[in-house]
Chain A
Amino acid sequence: MGLFLDFNPFDNLLCILLGISFTVWFTLLLVFIIVPAIFGVSFGIRQLYMKTLLKIFEWATHRIERGAKDNNHLFVSDGNRDLDHASEFEMSDIFYFCRQGVESIMDDEVTKRFSAEELESWNLLTRSNYNFQHISLRLTVLWGLGVVIRYGFLLPLRVTLAFTGVGLLVVLTSIIGFLPNGRMKNFLSEQVHLMCYRICVRALTAIITYHDSENKPKNGGICVANHTSPIDVIILASDGCYAMVGQIHGGLMGVIQKSMVKACPHIWFERSEVKDRHLVAKRLSDHVEDKTKLPILIFPEGTCINNTSVMMFKKGSFEIGSTVYPVAIKYDPRFGDAFWNSSQFGMVNYLLRMMSSWAIVCSVWYLPPMTREEGEDAVQFANRVKAAIARQGGLVDLLWDGGLKRGKVKDTFKEEQQKLYSKMLVGTQEDRSRS
């Protein structure tokens, strides 16, 4: 009996303590995160956090011994000097192709865009730790502390916020769907979307700097941006309202998509409709002509690239003929790599990795609007926009197609090379036959 009596007070105490901590927890959450998200203000907590982290990373890097390291190239490429002797075939011509080939085996411009960027300093995440094998005791302790903080404190916090944000989005947009179409509905829908995206931004601890907001996309335009991860959408949509374009998915994504479209017109396609390019173009241009509808958000690369370069833009969005508002997004990889390597991780795995990183720090530049000029076709227009985005974001402008992540390169490129070589040979053959 004595033992039994002993348990009760402790149980009570435990319950009371739990109850208090939950209440405190939720109040803090509400005051510091959710309420500011609703009104779009910021306490500056995240900026302070970022500065502290940077100091720690600098210290960590100094502790690690690093020799001089060139991150970009292993060798010096001599270019095309060898094949310009412009005469007849020699057995040594093979050397040119041979060397080009082996150089591309050692290092090429394309395949390295599809895996995460190598970092110069270590940010205490083992996932970025490719080349750092020397770790001192102090650093390991620091890393361990980092793991505890990230998984024990930050991750649960962020997951709670994420669920709150998504849940609110679904519920509120469904409610708004019942209102009659009109200005009130549009206004409310915008506010709800913005609020929920802001909560999601805080769920990722994303610290975003927006530049040149006077160029923000307007109704009837198309917003075009480089693509690194699905988070790009959240980053852009928390600062402005867009009509999304995409395929309808099943599951949770599908639920979110269906409720979003009740509140304002997004453009969702069935899987079967995606292949029909004319249908897609028609729906996009119909939407764009209606000036009361929000600007469309499109990622023309068609796939996620690792944020060191911008790959070929698909021309579809540039054929529609409306104003294009380019946006450049550049992530700071020191805090967490935002690139989604979809062949390596699924979506859930990826989101967990994002939520257990230190933070997502990025810069968004709104570039001045561009329109297609006289005599310019869609492809040239697309390349012009791409160059502008690459320049602003400090990314490498590549002609290669992002589709190379999964598919093979087209044979036409090889045929080009063969043609060039043949021209060199045949040119001299013709001379010989004439003489």
Chain B
Amino acid sequence: MGSRASTLLREEEIEEIKKETGFSHSQITRLYSRFTSLDKGENGTLSREDFQRIPELAINPLGDRIINAFFPEGEDQVNFRGFMRTLAHFRPIEDNEKNKDPTASEPLNSRSNKLLFAFRLYDLDRDDKISRDELLQVLRMMVGVNISDEQLGSIADRTIQEADQNGDNSISFNEFIKVLEKVDVEQKMSIRFLH
């Protein structure tokens, strides 16, 4: 019981996370016990191996990219705050949040932030542009060996052609938003919680 006591979540921390992410008290405690059960090294942080131990994630074609999204640039460990911050992107947008004060900072689960999360899955080198190569690589992850290079290349070319507006042969974040303006991002990138 000793080591467990030192990693118990304090009330102040829960309040801070609540403010930052919008999760409720019970959701935070529930996700905290999930975090600790994944943390095999019991050092308060998760490494990439801890994520890869989840079989359903390991067989996801984009598993590695998703895991990467949890780790800030150049780091190998993520603590509970970082974990919650990333998960917050998938909180559904509630109606009473939609018309909030425009001067308040944007919530993590806004439509724009959800799109940014998805954009970063494509943008492998984090240079704020999706190049043809990057698109090809992500496509290759999703289809495996089942589609030839030429076919994949033509899919990538067509996608860039449709999205690219300023002619630089890559997709910027604004162009990305434009392409997906008719898609119900709020529903597709949200996970409905029970309480």
A100 to chain B: closest residue by CB: B60
CB distance from B160 to the nearest CB of A (A): 10
Whether A110 sits at the interface, judged by CB under 8 Å, is yes
Question: Is A75's CB under 8 angstroms from B60's CB?
Answer: no
Whether A24 sits at the interface, judged by CB under 8 Å, is no
Question: Is A89's CB under 8 angstroms from B139's CB?
Answer: yes
Total A-B contacts with CB atoms under 8 angstroms apart: 158
Q: What are the residues of chain A within 8 A of B53 when measuring CB–CB? A: 111
Whether B183 sits at the interface, judged by CB under 8 Å, is yes
The CB with the most chain B CB atoms within 10 A, among A68, A404, A421, is that of A421
Q: What are the residues of chain B within 8 A of A418 when measuring CB–CB? A: 61, 142-146
Please measure, in the bound complex, the distance between the C-alpha atom of A98 and the C-alpha atom of B141, giving whole angstroms.
13
Whether A255 sits at the interface, judged by CB under 8 Å, is no
Question: Is B188's CB under 8 angstroms from A96's CB?
Answer: yes
B176 to chain A: closest residue by CB: A91
A109 to chain B: closest residue by CB: B56
The CB with the most chain A CB atoms within 10 A, among B26, B34, B54, B117, is that of B54
CB distance from B39 to the nearest CB of A (A): 12
Question: Is B57's CB under 8 angstroms from A105's CB?
Answer: yes
The CB with the most chain B CB atoms within 10 A, among A69, A74, A94, A408, is that of A94
CB distance from B22 to the nearest CB of A (A): 15
Please measure, in the bound complex, the distance between the C-alpha atom of A403 and the C-alpha atom of B31, giving whole angstroms.
26
Given A68-B195, A82-B188, A97-B60: A91 and B142 interface contact (C-beta under 8 Å): no
Given A74-B27, A91-B179: A101 and B63 interface contact (C-beta under 8 Å): yes
Contact of B144 (CB < 8 Å), options: A69, A109, A415, A429: A415
Q: What are the residues of chain A within 8 A of B63 when measuring CB–CB? A: 101, 414
Contact of B143 (CB < 8 Å), options: A67, A104, A107, A422: A422
CB distance from A268 to the nearest CB of B (A): 33
Please measure, in the bound complex, the distance between the C-alpha atom of A109 and the C-alpha atom of B176, giving whole angstroms.
34
Whether A78 sits at the interface, judged by CB under 8 Å, is yes
Given A102-B90, A422-B146: A97 and B61 interface contact (C-beta under 8 Å): yes
A400 to chain B: closest residue by CB: B55
CB distance from B42 to the nearest CB of A (A): 11
Given A91-B159, A102-B87, A400-B55: A75 and B191 interface contact (C-beta under 8 Å): yes
Q: What are the residues of chain B within 8 A of A423 when measuring CB–CB? A: 146
We find that the number of chain B residues with CB closer than 8 angstroms to chain A is: 56
Q: What are the residues of chain A within 8 A of B60 when measuring CB–CB? A: 97, 100-101, 104, 414, 417
Q: What are the residues of chain A within 8 A of B193 when measuring CB–CB? A: 74-76
CB distance from A309 to the nearest CB of B (A): 14
CB distance from B27 to the nearest CB of A (A): 7
Question: Is A99's CB under 8 angstroms from B188's CB?
Answer: yes
Q: What are the residues of chain B within 8 A of A76 when measuring CB–CB? A: 192-194
Please measure, in the bound complex, the distance between the C-alpha atom of A126 and the C-alpha atom of B1, giving whole angstroms.
8
Whether B62 sits at the interface, judged by CB under 8 Å, is yes
Please measure, in the bound complex, the distance between the C-alpha atom of A75 and the C-alpha atom of B52, giving whole angstroms.
21
- B145-159 at interface with A (beta carbon < 8 Å): 145-147, 151, 155, 158-159
Q: What are the residues of chain B within 8 A of A112 when measuring CB–CB? A: 37
Contact of B58 (CB < 8 Å), options: A82, A89, A408, A429: A408
Please measure, in the bound complex, the distance between the C-alpha atom of A333 and the C-alpha atom of B87, giving whole angstroms.
32
Question: Is A97's CB under 8 angstroms from B62's CB?
Answer: yes
Whether A115 sits at the interface, judged by CB under 8 Å, is yes
CB distance from B76 to the nearest CB of A (A): 17
Q: What are the residues of chain A within 8 A of B191 when measuring CB–CB? A: 75, 99, 102-103, 106
CB distance from B165 to the nearest CB of A (A): 14
Q: What are the residues of chain A within 8 A of B1 when measuring CB–CB? A: 126
Contact of A98 (CB < 8 Å), options: B37, B118, B147, B194: B118
Please measure, in the bound complex, the distance between the C-alpha atom of A429 and the C-alpha atom of B87, giving whole angstroms.
35
Please measure, in the bound complex, the distance between the C-alpha atom of A102 and the C-alpha atom of B85, giving whole angstroms.
13
Whether B38 sits at the interface, judged by CB under 8 Å, is yes
Question: Is B159's CB under 8 angstroms from A89's CB?
Answer: yes
Q: What are the residues of chain A within 8 A of B37 when measuring CB–CB? A: 111-112, 115
CB distance from B181 to the nearest CB of A (A): 11
B37 to chain A: closest residue by CB: A115
A107 to chain B: closest residue by CB: B34
Whether A289 sits at the interface, judged by CB under 8 Å, is no
Q: What are the residues of chain A within 8 A of B62 when measuring CB–CB? A: 94, 97-98, 101
Q: What are the residues of chain A within 8 A of B57 when measuring CB–CB? A: 101, 104-105, 108
CB distance from B144 to the nearest CB of A (A): 3
- A125-177 at interface with B (beta carbon < 8 Å): 126, 130-131
Q: What are the residues of chain A within 8 A of B52 when measuring CB–CB? A: 408
A418 to chain B: closest residue by CB: B144
Given A75-B194, A110-B54: A99 and B142 interface contact (C-beta under 8 Å): no
Interface string of B1-32 (1 = CB under 8 A from A): 10000000000000000000000001101110
Question: Is A95's CB under 8 angstroms from B185's CB?
Answer: yes
Question: Is B195's CB under 8 angstroms from A101's CB?
Answer: no
Question: Is B189's CB under 8 angstroms from A409's CB?
Answer: no
Interface string of B53-88 (1 = CB under 8 A from A): 111111111110010000000000000000000010
Residues of B within 8 A of A (CB): 1, 26-27, 29-31, 33-34, 37-38, 51-63, 66, 87, 90, 117-118, 121-122, 138-139, 142-147, 151, 155, 158-159, 163, 176, 179-180, 183, 185, 188-195
Question: 6 A-B residue contacts at CB 8 Å?
Answer: A67-B26, A78-B192, A94-B142, A110-B54, A111-B53, A425-B147
Q: Given contact pairs A73-B194, A91-B176, enumerate 11 new A-B contacts (beta carbons under 8 Å).
A: A74-B31, A75-B193, A96-B188, A97-B62, A97-B66, A98-B118, A99-B90, A100-B60, A104-B57, A418-B145, A422-B143
Shortest 8 CB-CB contacts between residues of A and residues of B: A418-B144, A422-B146, A104-B56, A101-B66, A413-B59, A95-B188, A409-B55, A422-B143
